[in-house]
């Protein structure tokens, strides 16, 4: 039996009980049909995590509408009845083990590598985005320059987020997470290099976090306490691992207090380089989320190392630990930790040449 008493203590998000504090982080696996319908292999994939003993599973980013939100080929959607019906099968399979599952809602904004509904992307400003498309998601070369999102489209996108949350409830999900992180549409508003607007959505931090707030308020209003709603936030991005909020702790205080005033059921802090100290202080971003948000915080980034996750919880820098790449390498991580089994290291080949579930399975078959 393990000594990881923090990780294996029950907790709650809103009224939802979780058996432990280990969470499967949202991970895009480009394994739906071309028009976003979740597939049988996805059901097996989420079922594997459910059997692995996780306290909570958060799905891959799932696009919210049939307009501009889809970012990747074979990314799943939650925008129509076929999406809902196919997700329901996955939810039911996961529920067989009494494991809760939340749907992550994404709008890719300018970071589009393929969108079957539209030829161009929308983003806060018509400006070239940093970085390159990701080959393991079928992308190649620079991101095309997006169109500037209009006020009308902003309002429409907020409505689409709410409809998607309603669809998630209809599919039986236990909660939804808004993807406000990692460089996608919401985070493009928060980020200086992608937001050059001079209206109420650009400029100072209050304006740049407005879109997050409006999406969150609208979803909270739609689900009216029926399921928990979380918000994922980061400094780093898939197209820039180094970015930090220009105002450092002052920005963090503003963002997290603002979130507190609106009242999501949790914040989810993600980083691409592991949970390292930020702004030349001694503390990581999750510590600041706890300090200013004061509610439930999930932290993510290098937490497959159980000692690290346990310490984070012990030090009250987070309430739950989400695991990304370590979960791909160890779908049974919670059981492995409890039984003292060795933990596999993640290697990029597990999601190369493509990040599909099939690719990971083939890699496992040939390597283990
Ligand atoms: C293949 C892959 C796909 C990912 N897709 C998503 C996603 O859909 N939504 C999201 O918020 N983060 C996504 N991430 C980021 C992870 O959730 C996590 O924040 C990141 O991998 C850092 O955690 P780790 O060190 O435990 O891997 C993805 C990461 C990987 C490796």
Tens of pLDDT, residues 288-321? 999 999 999 999 999 999 999 999 999 999 999 9
Burial of 80 (C-beta count, 10 Å sphere; 0-12/13-18/19+): middle
Predicted pLDDT of residue 83: 98
6 has a pLDDT exceeding 70? yes
Predicted pLDDT of residue 2: 62
> Is the CB of residue 108 less than 8 Å from the CB of residue 64?
no
Spacing, Cα 136 to ligand 1 middle (Å): 13
3-state helix, strand, coil in the chain (%, to 5): 35, 15, 50
246 has a pLDDT exceeding 70? yes
pLDDT band at 3 (very low <50, low <70, confident <90, very high): confident
Predicted pLDDT of residue 79: 98
Ligand 1, residues 298, 324, 350: which to mutate, most atoms within 8 A of Cβ?
A: 324
From atom 13 of ligand 1, which residue's Cα is the shortest distance away? 27
Predicted pLDDT of residue 34: 95
Instruction: Name which of 136-140, 156-160, 225-229, 285-289 the model is least confident about.
Output: 136-140
How is residue 187 annotated by DSSP?
H
From atom 28 of ligand 1, which residue's Cα is the shortest distance away? 27
263 has a pLDDT exceeding 70? yes
User: DSSP assignment of 121-147, as one string?
Assistant: -EESSSSPPSSB--GGGT--SBPPPPE
Average pLDDT over residues 228-252: 97
pTM of the model: 0.98
Tally of CB atoms within 10 A around 69: 31
- How far is it, in rounded angstroms, from Cα 253 to Cα 132? 31
247 has a pLDDT exceeding 90? yes
Residues 64, 69, 71, 74, Cα dihedral to 10°: 40
User: DSSP assignment of 239-271, as one string?
Assistant: TBTT---TTHHHHHHHHHHHHHHH--SEEEEE-
Active site residues: 184
> Is the CB of residue 316 less than 8 Å from the CB of residue 21?
no
> Is the CB of residue 327 less than 8 Å from the CB of residue 25?
yes
The packing angle between helices 40-51 and 81-95, to 10°, is: 30
The set of protein residues with a Cβ atom below 6 angstroms from ligand 1 is 25-28, 60-61, 104, 179, 181-182, 232, 270, 300-304, 323-326, 351, 355
1 has a pLDDT exceeding 50? no
Average pLDDT over residues 330-341: 97
Average pLDDT over residues 193-203: 97
Domains recognised in the chain with CATH numbers? 11-367 (3.20.20.70)
Average pLDDT over residues 127-136: 93
Predicted pLDDT of residue 366: 87
82 has a pLDDT exceeding 60? yes
């Amino acid at each position: 039996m393990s000594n990881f008493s923090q990780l294996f203590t029950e907790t709650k998000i809103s009224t939802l009980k979780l058996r432990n504090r280990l969470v499967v982080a949202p991970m895009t696996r480009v394994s739906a049909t071309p028009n976003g319908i979740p597939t049988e292999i996805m059901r097996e994939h989420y079922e594997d995590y459910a059997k692995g003993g996780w306290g909570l599973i958060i799905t891959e980013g799932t696009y919210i509408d049939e307009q501009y939100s889809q970012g990747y080929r074979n990314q799943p959607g939650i925008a129509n009845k076929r999406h809902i019906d196919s997700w329901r099968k996955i939810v039911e399979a996961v529920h067989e083990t009494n494991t809760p599952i939340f749907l992550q809602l994404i709008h890719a904004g300018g970071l589009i590598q393929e969108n079957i509904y539209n030829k161009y992307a929308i983003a806060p400003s018509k400006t070239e985005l940093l970085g390159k498309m990701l080959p393991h998601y079928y992308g190649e070369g620079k991101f095309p320059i997006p169109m500037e999102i209009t006020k009308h489209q902003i309002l429409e996108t907020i409505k689409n987020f709410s409809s998607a949350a309603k669809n998630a409830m209809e599919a039986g999900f236990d909660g939804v997470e808004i993807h406000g992180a990692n460089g996608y549409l919401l985070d493009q508003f928060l980020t200086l290099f992608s937001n050059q607007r001079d209206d109420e959505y650009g400029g100072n931090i209050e304006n740049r976090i407005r879109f997050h707030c409006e999406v969150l308020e609208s979803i909270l209003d739609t689900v009216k306490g029926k399921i928990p709603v979380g918000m994922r936030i980061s400094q780093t991005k898939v197209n820039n691992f180094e970015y930090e909020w220009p105002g450092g702790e002052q920005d963090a205080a503003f963002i997290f207090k603002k979130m507190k005033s609106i009242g999501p059921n949790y914040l989810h802090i993600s980083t691409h380089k592991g949970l390292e100290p930020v702004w030349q202080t001694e503390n990581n971003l999750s510590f600041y989320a706890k300090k200013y948000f004061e509610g439930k915080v999930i932290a993510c980034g290098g937490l497959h190392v159980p000692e690290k996750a346990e310490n984070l919880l012990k030090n009250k820098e987070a309430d739950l630990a989400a695991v990304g790449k370590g979960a791909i390498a160890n779908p049974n991580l919670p059981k492995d930790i409890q039984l003292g089994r060795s933990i596999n290291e993640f290697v990029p080949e597990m999601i190369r040449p493509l990040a599909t579930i099939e690719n990971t399975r083939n890699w496992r078959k040939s390597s283990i």
